[in-house]
Each structure stands twice: as structure tokens, then as C-alpha cells.
Amino acid sequence: MLKDDQDAYGYEIYDYYQGNEDVFEIVEREDGYIDVSQGPSYYFRTFEDWLQVERDAIKHALGRVLDIGCGAGRIALYLQEAGHDVLGIDISPKAIEVCRLRGLEKTQIFSITQVSSRLGQFDTVVMMGNNFGLFANPKRMKWLLNRFYGMTSLEARIITSSNDIYKTNDSDHLTYHQFNRDRSRMPGQIRIRIRYKKKKTPWFDYLMVSKEEMVELLQGSGWQVTRFIESESPFYIAIIEKAQP
């Protein structure tokens, strides 16, 4: 759980929910690169304003759903309204507060690493909004996928999205990719923190991969990609299901 002075992400969501539209999410990378994300307006989009790939992907949700990194609850609330039993979890207390204010019935302030069978069995694990990145690194990904396997039904699937970081000509990004290779990290294993006003999250690893890398990382995990849903940008969504014996 983030401490109050670390909850930059949650407070930007809360302020936007309270009507302040002049809210910006600053993403700071460990090499000093600074960027401004789409910001909290993205986290509040209604289904009609989602990307087409997101609308296509969410059709694959089944049964009971675990939404990891639920943010302001846009995915979880849509699925709840569609009749799914949904649990939304996030490491941000303020984000979870907003989810509850918006009507999400089941929430927990939880890190992805705290997810276990104690939460019950699920049919779908949602990790949208680039939240494949929450796996952080290949080792943690294998460990988490094994945990997901044991807490999901036979027909379960993971709906997740990422960015193909290789589809860029930006010299700052290419230099950072090489910086990662030089220290035996995946090129898309970025270390960042989120800043908002005087609040800033701790540094954390966020894993972005190509489709080929995702397929390779899943080998031997008990999971496999059954479908990629692509966009015109580097952003894509994967439907991941349990591998058949």
C-alpha cells in the first residue's frame, strides 16, 4: 500500500474526480527522462470512448473477474454493470476510494504481489491500461503466473495490454534500451516513478514487451497467448489462456 505522500497516482485521480480537469501525470524515468501521460481523463473514459482494441478485448471477459491495477475503475465498473462479479484491486488507497465513490462494490487495497487464492477463484484476470507492466520483470512474472494459475478456473484467461517498445526512433528511448541491455535487463524493463504536485511514488519496475517477447516469456508458465488484438500504434492487447496439456 502506498503511503499518503507516495500516492501521486491516487491523488491525481481523486482531484480529477472532484472536478479539477487541469491535472497532469508526470512520469519520471530513472535516467532523467520526463514525460506527461494521457493523465486521469483516460482512467475515467466510458465504454464508448475506449480504444477499439479495448472494446474488442473486453468481450473475452468471463465469469468472476479480478481487475489488477483498477485505477479509477473504468474497466471494473463496466464489467460490474454487465453483470460480472468483479473485484478491483490497486496499491493506491486514493484510487480505491474513488472506485468506491463511483459505485464499485468490491475493492481491496492490494499490490499484485499480494494476490493469492485467499481471494477466491476467478475466471478472468484483467490487467489493462498497459498493466502487463506490473509483472515488472521475467522472474516475478513467472512467479505471479504460477500463482494466477492456482486461483483461476480451467477456462480462465488473462486480458492484458502492453506497448511494443521497439517501434520507436526516439534516440532517448533507444539509448535507454541499450542501457538496460548493458546491465542484463530486458530493453523494456523500465524503472519509473509517478509525480503529482508534491507527491511521488517509490521507484518501480514496469515491463513493456513486444508480442514476440510476450510469447517467449510465457513458455513453461502454463499460460499461452491465444489472440493478439492490435492497434495502429505500438499498443496491443493479448488474450492469454491456460495452456492445454
Region 89-94 average pLDDT? 98
Domains contained in the chain, number:
1
CB 58 within 8 Å of CB 77: no
Which residue range(s) make up the domain with 208?
4-242
Beta partners for residue 223, in sequence order:
242
Provide the grid cell at 230.
Answer: 492490435
Q: List the Cα angle 199/202/206 in 5-degree steps.
A: 120
**Grid cell 480462465 in the structure block, residue:** 156
- Its pTM stands at 0.96
User: What are the phi and psi torsion angles at 9 (to 5°)?
Assistant: -60, -45
Beta strands in 129-203 (DSSP E): 152-163, 189-196, 199-200
Above 80 in pLDDT, residue 39?
A: no
Above 90 in pLDDT, residue 75?
A: yes
pLDDT tens digits along 117-166: 999 999 999 999 999 999 999 999 999 999 999 999 999 999 999 999 99
Above 90 in pLDDT, residue 37?
A: no
Region 82-89 average pLDDT? 98
CATH number, domain of 84, equals 3.40.50.150
d(CA 137, CA 215): 15
